[in-house]
Amino acid sequence: MFVLLGGSAATTTLLQIREARRSDEATKTSAQISERALQDTICGLRTQVKELSEKSIPTLIGDVNGLKPHKAVPANLTLRFVHPDEVAIVVDNAPHAGLADRPKYYAMLADLDNVSDFLRIPTFMGDYIRPGEFMGPNQFMGLDTVKALIKPGDRIFGSVGVSCPTCIKSRNYWLYIKVGAGGWYEEQEGPPKGLSSINAAKVIGANFDAYADIIAPNAKRITIKQTIDSPK
């Protein structure tokens, strides 16, 4: 009987061992399947990341760059002088420029035939000038404070400048006027220049033609005209 019991116990033990092995193998198989599935998922994610890096991310960066604010186009102001009999001033903004905010012009002119002080021409500031439009003509030689100091035939000379906060640059001009008869102007090159003092105006007035030929050659002078056409 003990032999039979021993054989039965051995058989039960073998069955338990086999069952445990099967369970272990099943567990290993399940683990292997899970590992393969994880590896497949990782490979899929790597492929997606690569596609994003090569295609989507550059496109997204381009879209973001497209949202960056564009640099504003600067205004581009120039001056014209019109009406030879009583010179007036016109401020032009170039057609393809930006909006000119608070355009300003200023002058330092002297009467070379009656040099006592600079002419009283106040600095003028406007509101704005749209691209391709102009401001003026504004009174210049016709101002009461100027007319009180000059007479027909007097030679007026000096510099006039124009600028604005949104301008690509400031500009300065040499301006010569023979009162009642017209004159000429020329844009200066390089740093702005002007009459340094009343004494300098007296020296220039004594030999104006020679001085003018040096600073403003005839070929570059613009004659003061009657018309006030829009800038081109």
Q: Are 186 and 172 in contact (CB under 8 A)?
A: no
Q: Rounded CA gap, 185 and 212, in Å?
A: 11
What is the value of pTM for the model shown? 0.68
Sign of the Cα torsion 146, 150, 154, 157 reads: negative
Please provide the average confidence, as pLDDT, over all residues in the chain.
Answer: 83
Q: Rounded CA gap, 183 and 155, in Å?
A: 9
The β-bridge partners of 156 are 111, 177
Q: Report the run of H or E that residue 100 belongs to, with start and end.
A: strand 100-101
pLDDT class for 3, splitting at 50, 70, 90?
Answer: very low
Flag whether pLDDT at 154 surpasses 50: yes
Most confident of 27-31, 130-134, 147-151, 227-231: 130-134
Residues 220-229 have a mean pLDDT of 84
pLDDT class for 24, splitting at 50, 70, 90?
Answer: low
Q: Rounded CA gap, 177 and 153, in Å?
A: 9
Percentage of the chain lying above the pLDDT 90 cut? 49
Burial pattern 182-205, b for ≥16 Cβ within 10 A else e, equals bbbbbebeeeeebbeeeeebeebb
Q: pLDDT tens for residues 155-170? A: 999 999 999 999 999 9
- Identify whether 217 is preceded by a cis peptide bond (ω within 30 of 0): no
CA dihedral 212, 216, 219, 222 (to 10 degrees): -100
**What one-letter code names the amino acid at 179?**
V
Flag whether pLDDT at 4 surpasses 50: no
Place of tokens 């001085």: 211
Q: Report the run of H or E that residue 155 belongs to, with start and end.
A: strand 155-163
